[in-house]
């Protein structure tokens, strides 16, 4: 959420760079430390207020998550689907299968967490997601599909350079906007560019 607030975008809505600020992190961690000494005051905050804050933070972060974007694809008309690195190269039924597989795991983890008699196994269920990704996913999906739907930005970029020379995928995976800014403009800070303009 903070990274999104610090982004500078161009007219097309693409991120040009991110304003770097270490002060925000310092203040945030300082407030977390202060909470330890203010527990008696924090206990006065009603739980629904805290739940509301965490719900809001979660909902604000959702649109930037690929899992959420793929979940929305389940309900979108094919003509309205945004072209990007995975919708351009992976068949839609495979994208839906991958999303449903992740939804199944998410549902299992939530069910285990809610049933008090087995909720102690919650960390184990979360841990089982790792072997599922490492050993079960490769049996169900090709390596290319996994790279495009679950790879790091560098893996996706390398795959696209090898397999998509014409740039069919309109929206490429976003690297750090700061890295892209530096790659395009050298090591100038955004303030220096304004001063030089």
Same domain, 58 and 98: no
Rg (Cα) of the chain, in Å, rounded? 21
Number of domains the chain contains: 2
Could you tell me if 83 and 167 lie in one domain? yes
Of 97-111, 127-141, 165-179, least confident by mean pLDDT is 165-179
Q: Tell me, yes or no, whether 113 and 168 share the same domain.
A: yes
Whether residues 78 and 173 share a domain: the answer is yes
Co-location of 34 and 74 in the same domain: no
Specify whether 164 is located in the same domain as 100. Answer: yes
Average pLDDT over residues 114-128: 91
Query: 195 and 171, same structural domain?
Result: yes
Same domain assignment for residues 164 and 119: yes
Range of the domain at 20: 1-64
Same domain, 27 and 104: no
Note whether 102 and 194 are same-domain residues.
Answer: yes
71 and 59 co-located in one domain: no
Residue among 87, 53, 77 nearest 168 (CA): 87
Task: Provide the pLDDT for residue 143.
Answer: 93
Cα–Cα dist 45/32, whole Å: 16
Token pair, residue 21, equals 């600020």
Do residue 182 and residue 126 come from a single domain? yes
In the chain, pLDDT over 90 holds for what percent of residues? 41
């Amino acid at each position: 959420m903070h990274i999104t607030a610090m982004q500078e975008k161009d007219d097309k809505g693409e991120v040009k760079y991110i304003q770097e600020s270490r002060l925000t992190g310092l203040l945030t961690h300082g407030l977390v430390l202060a909470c330890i000494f203010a527990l008696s005051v924090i206990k006065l905050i009603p739980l629904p207020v805290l739940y509301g804050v965490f719900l809001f933070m979660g909902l604000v972060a959702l649109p930037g998550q690929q899992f959420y974007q793929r979940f929305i694809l389940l309900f979108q008309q094919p003509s309205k689907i945004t072209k990007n690195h995975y919708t351009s190269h992976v068949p839609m039924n495979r994208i839906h299968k991958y999303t449903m597989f992740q939804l199944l795991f998410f549902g299992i983890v939530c069910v285990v967490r809610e049933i008090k008699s087995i909720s102690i196994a919650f960390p184990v269920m979360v841990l089982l997601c790792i072997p599922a990704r490492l050993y079960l996913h490769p049996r169900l999906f090709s390596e290319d599909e996994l790279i495009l739907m679950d790879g790091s930005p560098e893996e996706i970029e390398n795959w696209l350079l090898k397999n998509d020379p014409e740039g069919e995928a309109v929206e490429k995976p976003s690297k750090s906007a700061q890295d892209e800014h530096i790659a395009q403009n050298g090591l100038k800070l955004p303030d220096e560019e304004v001063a030089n303009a």
